Every structure is written in structure tokens, then in C-alpha cells.
Amino acid sequence: MEIIPQSSVIGAEVRGLDLSRPLDDDTHARLEAAFLEHQVLSFRRQRLTPQQYCEFAASFGRLADYLFVDGMEGYPHITEIIKTETETEGFGSFWHSDSTYLERPPKITLLYAREVPPRGGDTLFADMYRLYDDLSEGLQASLCRLRAINSASAVPRDEDIYQAVKSRNSAARERCATHPVIRRHDQTGRPALYVNGIHTLSFEGMTRAESRPLLEYLFRQVERPEYSFRLRWEADTLAMWDNRCTQHYALNDYHGYRRVMHRIIVEGDEPQALQDF
């Protein structure tokens, strides 16, 4: 197994593994260590059945249903995300960490490319460890004392972002959860920024108007290119990323082409603040 870093801050490509076969304990331990170090791992030229895909994902924790979209028939934990040639809206085309409106947001998201356009459709990932480290000591101290309210409806969007995606639970768009603004990773112990531009409404105990200037400043930092890595998809590429310490952005620049991705999320723990450890 080879681990090839893809940038100076985040992301690595794993070579030499066939994920259709069970991994022995030593290989899995090395893979998990690489995941915790690089935060985003990609595996190219993987030919997986839905069952094999689920088994690999389940080796990292309990699989969770996606609140707003039905899973594939026979495989409820696989969300099929299809953008057709005639659709223009993007699924995940904004900087975010997945489902922070849940009390226990997913710790890992996996995405498996089944059909990809000839160009475009890349995904950007940003390192929230490094962003936190680069903040001033005064701002770090202030943010560590704050909690933020995250909502499933922070940004008004139709449930049917893609017509081919089977939406459900529209009433759950009022789902909210409050989490620490600076989250301590439950495995590495490192602090990371944990607010994002589509789910975070405000700081707890403050109005949205009072919260917005500082939140907007933090959201702009996420967009800085020195924190990011760009994954170029190919058919049969599988990627997995750590939602506890990254954000991601799916580029919507491939109108006129069909794209099919299979998504699985792994259940996480309730986010903890630095002072909770």
C-alpha cells in the first residue's frame, strides 16, 4: 500500500489496495492512520458491488441513513446522487461539513464515482485544523467559548436539488443542533473550526445580526486556496473524508453531462468542545 500526499495540507491517494476484498487488521490500521493524518483519501480504479462498498464503509463505523434522500433499493445506506444532462442545480455546491444540524453528525462521508462527465465536477476539500491554527490567539480563545446553532434549513433550497434524487422527510428541514464552534477531534485531539456557510445560523445566545459579521469572516477563511485540495474524479474512484475536521465543495461546472455518484455516511459522536476533555 502506498500513500501519496496530494497537497501540502490535506488529501492523499492510496495505491495498491483492492477494496473489493476484506482488509486484514494491519492494513486497516495503516489505512485508518493515513485517514487521520491526511483527512481525505482517494482510491482509483476500484470495481465494487454495492455490498462490497457497504462492507468497506462499515469497517469504519456504523452506517447511517441520510435524512432527506431515500437510499438505493436493497441498500438503504447508499444514496444515489444523479445529475442528468438537462439539470443545472448542484448537490453540495457550497462549502460545508455534512449534516451539522444533527446531534451526532456523520464522522465520515464516502463517495463512489459510477459515471462522471468528461471534464468538470471536481470536489474541493479544506483543512479546518490548519485554518484554526492560523487564527490569532485572541480569536481562538474567543471562539473556543462559543457554541453555534446549525439548521437543516439555514439556506433556502428546494428538497429536489436533482430531479432524479428521491427526496423524503421534508418536515425535518426544521431540524437544529447546537455544537461548539471549535471542535476537538475525538480521535486525534486536535481543534478544528466547526461552523459552515450553509448550516450555521448564529452563535448561541446571540442574534443572527450580531453573529453574522464574525461568521462571514470565518466562512471567507474557508475559501482560501492554501487550505484546500482539489480532487479530480474518474469513474470507479472512491473518496472518503473526515467531516470532523474538513469542509468540501462540489463544483457544478459540467452542465449537459450525466453524473452518478454513490454516497455513504458513517455515524459520528456528539461534537465536543476543547474544555470538555
> What residues act catalytically?
96, 98, 248, 263
Query: DSSP character for 19?
Result: T
- Residue 207: how many CB atoms within 10 A of its CB? 9
Query: DSSP character for 214?
Result: H
Give the span between the Cα atoms of 261 and 50, in whole angstroms.
12
Which amino acid does the sequence have at 35? F
The answer for residues whose C-beta is within 8 angstroms of residue 191's C-beta and 6 or more apart is: 129, 132, 140, 144, 182, 183, 184, 185, 274
Beta strand pairing call for 79-83 and 228-231:
unpaired
User: Would you list the DSSP string of 22-67?
Assistant: PPPHHHHHHHHHHHHHHSEEEE-S----HHHHHHHHHTTS-EE--T
Beta strand pairing call for 40-43 and 12-15:
parallel
238-253 exposure pattern, b = at least 16 Cβ within 10 A, e = fewer:
bbbbbbbbbbbbbebe
Which amino acid does the sequence have at 182? I
- Reduced to 3 states, what is the DSSP secondary structure of residue 139? helix
Is residue 273 within 8 Å of 180, Cβ to Cβ? yes
Which amino acid does the sequence have at 184? R
